[in-house]
Structure formats: C-alpha cells, structure tokens
Amino acid sequence: MADTTFTHSPATTDRGRRWVVLYLATTGLVLLLMMLAGLWMRLAQAGWVYTDPALFYQLMTVHGTGMVGIAALGGAAVLWHFLSAHVRLNSRVMGANFGLFLIGVVAILVADFPGRFGGAWTFLYPLPATSQGAWPAWAAALHLGGLLVIGVGFLIWCLELARGIIATYGGLGRGLGWHVLFGGSMRDVPPPTVVAATMVTIVTTLALIAGALVLVMSLINLAFPAVEINPLLAKNLIYFFGHTFINATIYMGVVAVYELLPRITDRPWKTTKVFLAAWTLSTTMVLIIFPHHLLMDFAMPVWAMAIGQVFSYVNSFPVLVVTGLGALAILHRSGIRWDLVSTLLLISMFGWMAGVIPAVVDATVVVNSVMHNTMWVPGHFHFYLLLGLLPMMFAVMIHLARGEDTRPQGSDLTALLYLLFGLGFVSMFLIGGWASVPRRWAEHLPEWQIWDQVASVMAVGVIALTTVFVAMFLVRTPAILREG
Amino acid sequence: MNVQTVSVLLSFILILALAAVFLRVRGLAHEGRDYAPVQGNAYRIRAFGFWFLILVGLPISIWLFRENPYTAEAAAPQVINVTGYQWYWELDQSEVAAGVPVEFRVTSADVNHGFGIYDAAGTLVAQTQAMPGYVNRLTHVFETPGTYQVLCLEYCGLVHHNMIAEIVVTEGGSDG
Ligand code: HEM
Ligand SMILES: [Cu+2]
Ligand SMILES: [Cu+2]
C-alpha cells in the first residue's frame, strides 16, 4: 500500500478558540449534572432512592437528551479546535450554534421539569402527543421545539464546516480524499482530521435534515391531531437521525487521537489509501445500518433488516481494523512515558473498539430477538460513549489546560481509576441485558436490583473522577481565555 | 446455554482479548524503537484482520441471518391476537399448548409498545414491536409448559414498567 504524502499539521492556529473553551467548559458542567441524573435513575432502579415513576421518566428524558446534546457540543469543540488549523472557519458560527443550543436547553428544561414531559430523547411518535395526561401538549411542543432549535444550530455549524472544506480542498469528495483514492493523485492529500470532518459534515447534515423533518411533522401533529404521520415512517426517520447523530459524535472526537498521538509519540499519522477507503466506507455505512434499531419491527422489508444486520457487522471493519490498529501501532514501542493525556487517549480507543462488540452481537437478528430493548443496549452505548468519547474530550480538556504542551506530565492514575469504575458501571448494564432486564423501566424487580446496586456504586466513582478531569480544565479556563 | 449467555460470553471474551492487546501495547510503549518495522507489522496484522473479517466473519453474519423471525410460517395451528394499550395488554386468548407453533398477531391501539415474552424463569424468549396501524406476526413454539409473562419492551409512557400480562402454556397437543 503506497503511502501518500503526509501533510503535517502546523501548530494550531485555532480560530474561535474562546468558543472551543466555552463549549468544553459547558460540556464538562452539563456532563456532571447529567451524570448525577443518571445516578439518580440507577439508585431508583436499585430500590435505594424512592422516585416517582413520572419523575424517573422525566429524568430519563433529560439525561438522554442532555447527554446526546453535550456529546455533540463537546465533539464539535474537539473537531473545530483541530480542524481550524487546516481549514479557515468562521468562528461566528460557533457563537450562533452556542446561542441556539442554550435557547434549546432552556426550552427543554422548562418542558421536562415544570412541564413534566417524559417522552424520552427518541420522542417516538405518537407518544409526545399521547401521554394519557402525564404531560400537557404545550410541554411536548416546547421540548420538540427546543430540539429543533438545537438541531438548526448544529446544521448551521455543519454547513460552515462543509463550506470551509470545500473552499480549502475544492469539494467534499476531495475532503474524503477521493482524488487520491480513485484518481491516484498525490496532491492536496487531506490530513486525517479533514477526512474525518468531511465525513462528520456529510452524515450529520443528513441526520439533522431527517430529524428536523420528523420534528416538524410531530409538531404539526401536536397542533392538529387530525394530521397523522405513518408511525413506521416516523420511526425510521427518528432512528436514522438518532443513530447517525450520536455516532457522528465519536467521529468528531476521534480527531483528538489523530492529532495528539503523533505529537506525543513524534510519529506521523499518515493518510493512506486504506485510511481513505475506510472513511468512505464508514460514511456510507453509518447511513445505511440504522435498521438494526428496527429489527423487531416485522413490518419492515426483509432486505432492510438484512442490511441492518450484515452491514452493521461490516461497519466495524474501518473502526476496528484501521483507526484502532493505527492508534496501537503509533503507540507501540514508541518510547513514550504514559501520562494523563496519552492514557486517556489509549482508553478512548479501547472503549470505542470494545463498545462496538456488544453492538455487533446485538445487531444479529437471533440475538436481537432476546436482547433488543433490554439493558444490553444502554450497556453498548454507555460503553463507547463513557469509555470512548468522553476520554477523548477529557484528553483535549487537559491538553488545553496544559497549554498544549504534549510532553508527559504527572501520573495517569486518575485515568486508570476512571477506566475501572467505568468498566464496572457498563458491565452491570450488559449483565442486566443477559438477565433479560428491560431498559427504561422506572421500577425494577428485586432479583434485578443487585446489578443496579453495583452499578450505582461504580457510577459514584465515575462521577468523582469526571469531577477531577473537569475541574482540572475549569480552573485553567480563565487563564486560557486570557491567553486568547 | 441460551442465546443471552452465548452473547455475553462471546462479547466478554472478545473484550478481554482486546484488553490484552491494549495492555501489551501499554506495557511495551516505553521501549523506543523505529516506527517503520512496527508499522510494517501493523499493516500485516491489518491485512490479516481485514481478510479474516471478510472471509470468515461476513459469511457467518450472512449465515446467521437465515434464522430470522420475519417469514411467518404458513397457518400456525394456534393464533393469539394481541393489542397493546396504555397501559395494559389485551390478548384474545391466554392459554396455549406447548410444542405447537403459536402465531401472535401484535398491534397497538395507541403508541408503540414492545411485546416481550418471558418464561417462568424470567428469561426473555421472543419479542416483536406492537405498533399502531401495523400487525406484526410473531411465531413462537413454547417448549416447556408453565406460566409465561408478557412485559412491555418499548417505552410507552408513565406506566411502561407495569404493562404485564400472563400466558399459560399447557401440556398436551404436542406430538414431539
Ligand atoms: C455516571 C454516568 C452515567 C450514569 C450513572 C448513567 C445512567 C443512565 C441510566 C440509569 C439510564 C437509563 C437506563 C434504562 O433503564 O434504560 C441511562 C440512559 C441513557 N444514558 Fe446514561 N448514564 C451515565 C452516563 C452517560 C453518558 C456519558 C452518556 C452519553 C454521552 C449517556 C447517555 C445516555 C442515553 C442516550 C440514555 C438513553 C435514555 C433513554 O433510554 O431514553 N449516559 N443512563
Ligand atoms: Cu445504531
Ligand atoms: Cu411500554
């Protein structure tokens, strides 16, 4: 495999750096609050803290929506920070997105707490409009409207990325390196960060359009109940949006690995043809595998289910074989001394790769028949988000707090503890799936509660260590902002 | 061993194997070596992994798909019509014979619900979505007699965790 020329990334000339810092600070704070909401839910399921089911489902809605939102906000900060060294971006877009995000958050908080909306982050039609009096229609409309505002913000953000990439590289195809992959050209080879950003832009834009469509349809249905939506169509749009959007967050975060590991190890991360092929494959596959969420909807066409199963499996190649192995190779016998940043990045690759495994298993129809909507599912996504995405974001926070100095500093004990508590926490979800515990149940049977109890203890550890990482960043935030 | 146990064992073994690789890389990182040979090895492993996944994994994934619940068997001898409501199940019959296929025709009168069948030991044995406007046909053969429970497996609002029904599976009718 001929390696093409490596475009070395210059020391960062981050435009919109203040916004990046503000995004990450917000991410850290909201993350902690949402984790506390998660702990509360776990304590309720464990039978340790009595919680009214209505409140449980409100917490579940806020936790799910909030976590997906800040996964995107934090991912966006990481991607922007590194991409803006390669592509000229207009930082006012970061401000616009942030403003819309805050408006959306306020709307959602009002809808979910005083308004008692509890329709989950997936707002599956027709639940928002059909709560049997659990929440009023205005609360549902306000929540969905809040989501729409946040979605518009991210759409603008994605379009700015697309504009920047097109302006610098001459097209999204060139951002994915197709001229190198198919044309054999060796010029303007996009660095890994640009390739990832192009993929993120494409898939997130499509996801947001589908999401906006189904949100508008649901809002119309709330206003005029006579206007109905086909529930299977709504489900397809929602899972296409939800699956693609949350997956894109880790493709945003992974640029931290592409950019920081080479600086830490002094070994380049090359854009090879295999790398480009892997990202092009990911771009298409992440868009077509969402039917793995609909395997228990027997009304779906069988070919869509076959795609959902077989391509979910294929989709793991690029991640496992190219990015994961690439990260391991760059670190292997590199002569580095582990410190907090490098260990967090190592953990993030492990969390991502390992978190894919239960997902691929569950995307198999025979397994899905007895695992779908059990705790196995939160087991899979907490694995790759808590131990994959979050360590990427923490690594960038600490990297910035250290003034972007990549020389090893101090010990990595806190990262290892985070890994251990995190593994304990997500394993309890997976074991719950093995024990057939349904997901999204406000109250658990006594025989299930042992897993909930262990998970609660582990969650306390995760939250404590998250507090440490976020605090390391926040105490340095004023100084970073002053330095500009 | 049921499907759940196979899945959890397989997943945990693969995760542990992956962890072993990561631990090895972590342990050897302090040895500074040239990148070129390391990278050469990684490319070889990558090529091996790629072909292994294509030539072994992909056929397995396709082969596993042949066992799917979508192609409903012709005229099952026992039929139960199921409708989900916020927040109860309506089954037009709740007693079936073991060993004989049962076809569940599952729908919903309001929002999405999940029709999950649990055996007496509390293990999920089969499920399908209950969706307004659609009838999903789930064919299942109850192997052992006993009292089974139906739990809701799709979030449907305030009392989602309390949407429980019973199916009694009796001996007899079975010729094997
Ligand atoms: C200490 C950390 C965390 C705790 C204690 C926690 C706890 C929980 C609990 C108890 C549930 C509901 C499980 C169920 O019964 O279905 C849940 C769902 C969820 N969590 Fe977390 N979580 C944590 C971290 C995260 C993170 C970091 C993310 C994403 C970045 C996340 C995203 C979600 C999502 C999307 C759901 C689905 C909500 C739904 O089913 O509607 N969580 N979490
Ligand atoms: Cu998915
Ligand atoms: Cu339900």
Residues in A closer than 8 angstroms to B125, CB to CB, are 370
| Residues A185-200, mean pLDDT to the nearest whole number | 95
| Residues A175-204, mean pLDDT to the nearest whole number | 95
> Are residues B103 and B30 part of one domain?
no
Q: What CATH number is attached to the domain comprising A229?
A: 1.20.210.10
> Are residues B166 and B91 part of one domain?
yes
Asked if residue A393 belongs to a domain, the reply is yes
Ligand 1: lining residues by beta carbon, under 6 Å: A 35, 38-39, 41-42, 60, 63-64, 67-68, 71, 120-121, 378, 382, 385-386, 390, 439-441, 459, 462-463
How many Å lie between the alpha carbon of A424 and the closest alpha carbon of chain B?
A: 13
Reply yes or no on whether the pLDDT at A2 is more than 50. no
> Which of A51, A63, A427 most suits a substitution to test ligand 1, by most atoms within 8 Å of the C-beta?
A63
ipTM of the complex: 0.95
How confident is residue A8, by pLDDT bands cut at 50, 70 and 90? very low
Q: Which ligand is nearest to the CA of A443?
A: 1
Q: What are phi and psi of A240, to 5 degrees?
A: -60, -45
How many Å lie between the alpha carbon of A289 and the closest alpha carbon of chain B?
A: 14
Asked if residue B159 belongs to a domain, the reply is yes
> Are residues B87 and B57 part of one domain?
no
| Residues A48-62, mean pLDDT to the nearest whole number | 98
The three-class DSSP label of residue A193 is helix
DSSP-derived letter for residue A438 is B
Asked if residue A3 belongs to a domain, the reply is no
Q: What is the pLDDT of residue A268?
A: 94
Q: What is the residue with the minimal CA distance to atom 6 of ligand 1?
A: A38
Q: What is the pLDDT of residue A9?
A: 43
How confident is residue A11, by pLDDT bands cut at 50, 70 and 90? very low
Of the ranges A63-72, A286-295, B58-67, which is most confident?
Answer: A63-72
Asked if residue A5 belongs to a domain, the reply is no
CB atoms within 10 A of CB A365: 22
Asked if residue A4 belongs to a domain, the reply is no
Report whether B147 contacts B119 (CB < 8 A).
Answer: no
Q: What is the pLDDT of residue B175?
A: 47
Q: What is the residue with the minimal CA distance to atom 43 of ligand 1?
A: A38
Atom of ligand 1 nearest to the CA of A390: 27
Asked if residue B20 belongs to a domain, the reply is yes
Q: How far is the CA of A434 from the centre of ligand 2 (A)?
A: 19
Residues in B closer than 8 angstroms to A431, CB to CB, are 8
Residues in A closer than 8 angstroms to B65, CB to CB, are 305-306, 309-310, 364-365
Range of B87's domain? 78-170
The three-class DSSP label of residue B88 is strand
A455-466 residue pLDDT tens:
999 999 999 999
Asked which of A83-87, A438-442, B67-71, B161-165 is least confident by mean pLDDT, the reply is B67-71
Asked if residue B97 belongs to a domain, the reply is yes
A90-110 residue pLDDT tens:
999 999 999 999 999 999 999
Domain boundary (B36, B65, B94) is at B65
Q: How far apart are CA B54 and CA B51, in angstroms?
A: 5
| Residues A401-428, mean pLDDT to the nearest whole number | 96
Tokens in use for A56?
């449980």
Asked if residue B176 belongs to a domain, the reply is no
Amino acid letter at B44? R
Atom of ligand 1 nearest to the CA of A121: 41
- pTM of the full structure: 0.95
Reply yes or no on whether the pLDDT at A326 is more than 80. yes
Q: How far apart are CA A312 and CA A315, in angstroms?
A: 5
How many Å lie between the alpha carbon of B175 and the closest alpha carbon of chain A?
A: 26
Cβ B155–A328 below 8 Å, yes or no? Answer: no
> Are residues B90 and B36 part of one domain?
no
Tokens in use for A94?
């970061």
Long-range contacts formed by B70-77: CB under 8 A, 24+ apart = B70/A298, B70/A302, B70/A305, B71/A302, B72/B103, B72/B137, B72/B139, B73/B101, B73/B103, B73/B139, B76/B100, B76/B101, B76/B102, B76/B103, B76/B139, B77/B101
Domain boundary (B65, B88, B119) is at B65
Q: What is the pLDDT of residue B69?
A: 87
Q: What CATH number is attached to the domain comprising B138?
A: 2.60.40.420
> Are residues B118 and B42 part of one domain?
no
> Are residues B118 and B41 part of one domain?
no
Q: Which residue has the tokens 């705790």?
A: A375
**Edge-to-edge, what's the strand order for the sheet holding B124-130?**
B95-97, B165-170, B146-152, B113-118, B124-130
CB atoms within 10 A of CB A109: 17
> Are residues B133 and B103 part of one domain?
yes
> Are residues B163 and B135 part of one domain?
yes
Closest CB to A231 among B28, B86, B133: B133
Q: Which residue(s) pair with A3 in the sheet? A: A272
| Residues A25-35, mean pLDDT to the nearest whole number | 98
Q: What is the pLDDT of residue A15?
A: 72
**Edge-to-edge, what's the strand order for the sheet holding B101-108?**
B88-91, B78-85, B101-108, B136-141
Cβ B49–A325 below 8 Å, yes or no? Answer: yes
Asked if residue A40 belongs to a domain, the reply is yes
| Residues A179-198, mean pLDDT to the nearest whole number | 94
- In a structure prediction context, what are the per-residue pLDDT tens digits for chain B, which is 176 residues long? 899 999 999 999 999 999 999 999 999 999 999 999 999 999 999 999 888 888 988 899 899 888 888 876 667 789 999 999 999 999 999 999 999 999 999 999 999 999 999 999 999 999 999 999 999 999 999 999 999 999 999 999 999 999 999 999 999 754 44
Report whether A94 contacts A23 (CB < 8 A).
Answer: yes
Asked if residue A2 belongs to a domain, the reply is no
- Split into its structural domains, chain A has a count of 1
Asked if residue B73 belongs to a domain, the reply is no
Q: What is the pLDDT of residue A380?
A: 97
> Are residues B84 and B148 part of one domain?
yes
Q: What is the pLDDT of residue B170?
A: 95
Q: What is the pLDDT of residue B173?
A: 56
Range of A176's domain? 10-483
Report whether A432 contacts B122 (CB < 8 A).
Answer: no
Asked if residue B175 belongs to a domain, the reply is no
Kind of pairing between the strands at B146-152 and B165-170: antiparallel
Asked if residue A459 belongs to a domain, the reply is yes
- Split into its structural domains, chain B has a count of 2
Asked if residue B136 belongs to a domain, the reply is yes
Q: Which residue has the tokens 């709307």?
A: A107
Taking all residues of chain A, what is their mean pLDDT, rounded to a whole number? 94
DSSP-derived letter for residue B94 is -
How confident is residue A6, by pLDDT bands cut at 50, 70 and 90? very low
> Are residues B156 and B83 part of one domain?
yes
> Are residues B83 and B55 part of one domain?
no
Tokens in use for A337?
């001394």
**Residue of A350, A339, A338 whose CA lies nearest to A386:** A350
